[in-house]
Amino acid sequence: MASASDTLKNLSVKPEGRENVNLLMPKLQYRFRVGFTNFGIGSDAEGSVTLTRQIIDVARPQLQFAKITVPVYNSQIYLAGKHSWQPLQVNIRDDASGVVSKAVGAQLQRQLDFFEQASSASGADYKFAMNIDILDGGNGVKDPVILEQWELAGCYLEQANYNQLNYATSEAVQIALTVSYDNAVQTDGAGALIGVGGPGTIADSVSAPDQGTATG
């Protein structure tokens, strides 16, 4: 049976209060910011700014590859097929002044003219952009540092759920938005690619070690 000292060693924690140099500081779930561009009517309308302030929670992008099965002799192998970005959900507090509801309603109206029952001519007429920033600090005078940013392009509202009302609670009313998008790019605070969605591969952005010059 492993001792407590062995367990701490496996966790890269030094016993007896000695300095710990191997544990990495985690990103924290509550330090985030969500921004919208061209949401509703007007790219910088009051509703877009208010949405950012009213966000309760948001899911980070989820990527899925279709599985291709290739029979080989008496067995089979698997290859990655077409990829798809899965819809994500954003939960927002509805406000008493109606700014959030108006912004959401305006975006839905852009996607479909409900009075005329007429669709937009193209996606460019209603699609918006969205960014999800993971932050560090920013509680004082200085602006927060962006540790990670997801940029979502070609977004539209797949579903808007205005949720229920309940006499038994005093909790804030929420609107749940399901967002579909064409692509997502993951970068660090300086805009360098650190994950999926950008051109090339991660290996392209990492300098290869110097192999030296071959000599005869």
Q: What percent of the chain has pLDDT over 70?
A: 75
Which amino acid makes up residue 102? K
Most distant CA atoms of the chain, gap in Å: 85
- List pLDDT tens digits, range 120-169: 778 888 999 999 999 987 666 678 899 999 999 999 999 999 999 999 99
CA dihedral sign of residues 112, 83, 38, 143: positive
Alpha-carbon distances of 176 from 22, 48, 100, 183, rounded to whole Å:
40, 16, 12, 21
Instruction: Tell me if 92 sits within 8 A of 177, measured CB to CB.
Output: yes
Domain ranges in the chain?
34-196
CA dihedral sign of residues 85, 55, 100, 44: negative
Tokens of 171: 């909790």
Residue 213 has pLDDT above 60, yes or no: no
Average pLDDT of the segment spanning 194-205? 60
* Residue in the block written with tokens 């924690």: 13
CATH number of the structural domain 34-196? 2.30.110
- List pLDDT tens digits, range 135-149: 987 666 678 899 999
Please state the pTM of the whole predicted model.
Answer: 0.76
